[in-house]
Amino acid sequence: MSAQATGAGKPKTADMHPGPGFRVRVDIERPSPETVSGLGEFETPAISDLLNRLHTMQNAISNLTDEQLTLCGTACTVKTYPGDNLMVHKSLDIAKPGDVIVIDGSRSPAGAVLGDLVSTKARHRGVAGFVVDGLIRDLPAIRAMGDFPVYARGVTPIGPMHRGPGEINYPIAAGGVVVNPGDVIVGDLNGVVVVPQEFAESLLAKLRERAAAESNYNDAVARGEFSNSWVDAILEDSGVTINGSGH
């Protein structure tokens, strides 16, 4: 007797359900454009220092496009099912001009979550770029765009599926960092940092206060004017013995 005749039918375990894991949030809070652009004036090491060296993505996520292309914008977050990019396509309708779309692809090798067509569509929508905790494809064509930064773990020819599930504008994990929608993303050749939205304005003020002092110190080092007495103080406090007369 067939399964249909007995009423067994298709198993329900793979059915998709609306709610956690398959949902979209359209409206999120964002820092002011002035705060976002201000943070983009600083390199990621300076920002990372003031974030106490946390909130910095793992270095496996790097700039795969032109090395001159930096990245700065407000996070529109996307979580995809491994090997799927349905919600990446939908994020193009949700992201605002100037947003960075940050994708939690679960580091999956199952397939790319975007390629040149998605990148071209995103540029038309005013998206500032992509950060992908996963793989992309069509890299030569993305590079040929010339002005669209994409940061990711790597490249594969394997294309994605388009069936879901996934989430847009809910907290994700990317590069070992929790990213909330509305956080500020800054990327350059050093890597990617995530500035929590609630600290964006105060962090920018600290960066500007620190810039002058650091500039003076860097200029002195460039002239060869520096002392390592602070190193000796740490060693002395730690009880380190230094043998010989020169150090």
The 10s digit of each residue's pLDDT in 191-211 is 999 999 999 999 999 999 998
Q: What is the pLDDT of residues 211-227, one digit of tens each?
A: 877 877 777 788 888 88
What is d(CA 200, CA 176) in angstroms, rounded to the nearest whole number?
A: 20
Q: Report the relative pairing of strands 99-104 and 71-80 from DSSP bridges.
A: parallel
Q: What is the pLDDT of residues 19-59, one digit of tens each?
A: 889 999 999 999 999 999 999 999 999 999 999 999 999 99
CA distance between the termini of the chain: 88
- Residue 9's pLDDT band, with cuts at 50, 70 and 90, is confident
Residue 18's Cβ-count burial label (10 Å; 0-12, 13-18, 19+) is exposed
Task: Enumerate residues 6+ apart whose C-beta is below 8 A from 76.
Answer: 28, 91, 94, 95, 96, 99, 100, 101, 102, 127, 168, 169, 181
Domain parsing of the chain, residue ranges: 31-205
For the domain 31-205, what is the CATH code? 3.50.30.40
Model pTM? 0.89
